[in-house]
């Protein structure tokens, strides 16, 4: 990748007070790893489409297969990945299993990510 002049400082300078302030607030190694794992799980088109659907409504696996045009086994596999990462949750309702986003943090990630992408397309 080509380096641009706006990618570097023209003059070497260090701001110790800013560095120390930021260092105190930054994630430690373990939380940073956990956040990276979250973004890895989110880095899949099919899982994003599932989350987009679940952002709009609680759905069963059958509904998700119809929405995504995929077979139940493939959707179930993706849901298992999302559930293991605590991004979605499930509950049994009669003979069906209903899925929803795990909490408001996940809803906000989906909402803000969608808004960001829409703004980029303008």
Structure confidence by residue, pLDDT tens digits, 60-104: 999 999 999 999 999 999 999 999 999 999 999 999 999 999 999
Residues 6+ apart with CB under 8 A from 89: 83, 99, 100, 101, 102
- Taken in order of first residue, the domains within the chain and their CATH numbers are 58-122 (1.10.10.10)
* 32 token code pair: 């940073």
The reported pTM is: 0.85
Residue 25: strand, helix, or coil: helix
End-to-end Cα, the chain, rounded Å: 26
Residue with tokens 């086994």: 73
Q: Is residue 9 very low, low, confident or very high in pLDDT (cuts 50, 70, 90)?
A: confident
pLDDT digits (tens, 9 = 90+) for 18-61: 999 999 999 999 999 999 999 999 999 999 999 999 999 999 99
Tally of CA atoms within 13 A in the half-sphere of 85 that contains its CB = 22
Residue 104: strand, helix, or coil: helix
Distance CA 70, CA 47 (A): 12
């Amino acid at each position: 990748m080509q380096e641009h002049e706006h990618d570097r400082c023209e003059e070497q300078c260090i701001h110790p007070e800013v560095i120390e302030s930021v260092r105190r607030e930054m994630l430690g190694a373990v939380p940073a790893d956990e956040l990276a794992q979250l973004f890895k799980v989110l880095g899949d088109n099919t899982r994003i489409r599932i989350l987009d659907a679940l952002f709009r409504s609680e759905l069963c696996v059958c509904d998700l297969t119809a929405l995504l045009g995929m077979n139940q086994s493939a959707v179930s596999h993706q849901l298992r990945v999302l559930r293991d990462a605590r991004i979605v949750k499930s509950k049994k309702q009669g003979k069906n299993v209903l899925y929803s986003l795990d909490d408001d943090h996940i809803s906000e990630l989906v909402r803000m990510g969608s808004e960001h992408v829409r703004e980029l397309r303008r």
